[in-house]
């Protein structure tokens, strides 16, 4: 039992030292970061800067630096600078391209926005229907008044003198006037729905209006002439002989009336 005590003590000591070693914290060394801090004079001044240069006799100014760059890191010293952040390196090239692309995108966005506003204004100006402001504000009422005036004459003739109305509708001028009104109405509706320039649309409206106004007056005069003709008596009544107005009174009554009138005069 006494021989086992030193053995157990030794095992406990080994386990204790292993435990202490496992708990040791080793600081992480970042050489690039440490060098950056030194260059920024955060840690110390005059950090070692190995130089590969030589004097005018060709003797290295710093033998260690000369061996470091010319021998140990010869490929890096004589080779191409592969640092991405170097002047004119990949980062600067990408950054310049990014700025150029950003400026180009802004110009394209401005151009697209300007084109959109122009096209929208053009489309709104050329669109018909609800967007046809000249028609909504002026021409619609003008055309409606002209057609309503002619319609009133047609309805008056049909209501008061149906025979004359049928005679007028079957006449050559009556058919021509009805066809004219239908054609002009279709022209107005077509121009109102077309996708054309607003100025051209207004010119067409004025042209139709100038043609429609005198035509409507002509049609109304034509309908009014039928109304006047309908008020005249028929040819049979004109040619019918008039009967003499013979009174049924007796001779004595006639004499008394004559005497009454004579005395009053």
| Sequential pLDDT tens for the chain (265 residues) | 455 555 556 666 565 555 555 455 556 566 666 665 665 554 455 566 777 788 888 888 888 888 887 788 777 667 676 666 677 777 778 888 888 888 888 888 888 877 777 666 666 566 666 667 788 888 889 999 999 999 999 999 889 988 888 988 898 988 999 999 999 999 888 888 877 777 788 888 889 999 999 999 999 999 998 888 888 776 666 555 555 554 555 666 666 776 666 655 5
How far from 248 is each of 9, 91, 130, 253, 254, CA to CA, in Å?
Answer: 176, 135, 78, 10, 10
The answer to whether residues 167 and 220 belong to one domain is yes
Is 149 inside any structural domain? yes
Q: DSSP 3-state assignment of 54?
A: strand
Q: pLDDT tens-digit profile of 208-248? A: 999 999 999 999 999 998 888 888 776 666 555 555 554 55
The overall pTM is greater than 0.95: no
Instruction: Assess whether 136 and 220 both reside in one domain.
Output: yes
> Residue 42's pLDDT is what?
45
Do 77 and 135 sit in the same domain of this protein?
A: no
Residue position matching structure tokens 């006449």: 171
Q: Domain of 57?
A: 49-82
Based on the fold, state whether residues 72 and 133 are members of the same structural domain.
Answer: no
Number of domains in the chain: 2
Q: Does 210 lie in the same domain as 154? A: yes
Q: Are residues 134 and 214 in the same domain?
A: yes
Is 19 within 8 Å of 27 (Cβ atoms)?
A: no
If DSSP codes are grouped into helix, strand and coil, which group holds residue 264? helix
Handedness of CA 217, 223, 229, 231 (dihedral sign): negative
Domain presence at residue 245: no
Asked, for residue 92, whether it belongs to a domain, the answer is no
Asked if residue 174 is part of any domain, the answer here is yes
Domain check: are 166 and 227 in the same one?
A: yes
Residue 55 counted as domain residue: yes
Quote the pLDDT of residue 239.
Answer: 59
Report pLDDT for 66.
Answer: 84
Q: Is residue 102 part of a domain?
A: no
Give residue 25's pLDDT: 52
Residue 73 and residue 140 in one domain: no
| Residue-wise DSSP of 114-153 | HHHHHHHHHHHHH--GGG-HHIIIIIHHHHHHHHHHHHHH
Tokens of 163: 């025979």
Do residues 74 and 131 both lie within one domain? no
142 and 196 both lie in a single domain: yes
Same-domain check for residues 58 and 133: no
- 153 shares a domain with 71: no
Establish if 99 belongs to a structural domain: no
135 within domain boundaries? yes
What b/e readout covers 45-75, taking b as 16+ CB neighbours within 10 angstroms? eeeeeeebeeeeeeebebeebbebbeeeeee
């Amino acid at each position: 039992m006494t021989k086992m005590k030193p053995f157990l003590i030794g095992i406990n000591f080994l386990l204790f030292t292993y435990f202490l070693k496992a708990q040791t914290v080793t600081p992480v060394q970042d050489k690039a970061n440490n060098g950056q801090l030194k260059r920024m004079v955060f840690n110390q001044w005059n950090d070692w800067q190995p130089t590969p240069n030589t004097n005018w006799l060709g003797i290295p100014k710093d033998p260690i630096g000369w061996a470091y760059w010319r021998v140990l890191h010869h490929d890096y010293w004589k080779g191409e600078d592969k640092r991405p952040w170097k002047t004119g390196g990949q980062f600067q090239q990408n950054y310049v391209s990014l700025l150029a692309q950003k400026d180009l995108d802004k110009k394209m966005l401005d151009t697209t926005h300007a084109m959109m506003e122009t096209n929208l204004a053009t489309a709104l100006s050329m669109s018909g229907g609800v967007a046809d402001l000249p028609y909504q504000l002026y021409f619609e009422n003008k055309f409606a008044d002209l057609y309503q005036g002619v319609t009133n004459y047609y309805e008056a003739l049909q209501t008061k003198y149906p025979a004359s109305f049928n005679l007028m509708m079957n006449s050559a001028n009556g058919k021509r006037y009805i066809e004219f009104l239908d054609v002009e109405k279709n022209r107005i509706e077509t121009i109102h729905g077309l996708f054309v320039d607003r100025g051209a649309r207004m010119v067409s409206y004025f042209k139709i209006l100038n043609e429609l106004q005198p035509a409507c007056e002509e049609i109304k005069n034509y309908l009014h002439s039928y109304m006047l003709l309908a008020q005249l008596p028929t040819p049979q009544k004109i040619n019918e002989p008039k009967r003499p107005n013979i009174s049924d009174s007796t001779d004595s009554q006639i004499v008394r009336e004559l005497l009454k009138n004579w005395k009053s005069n």
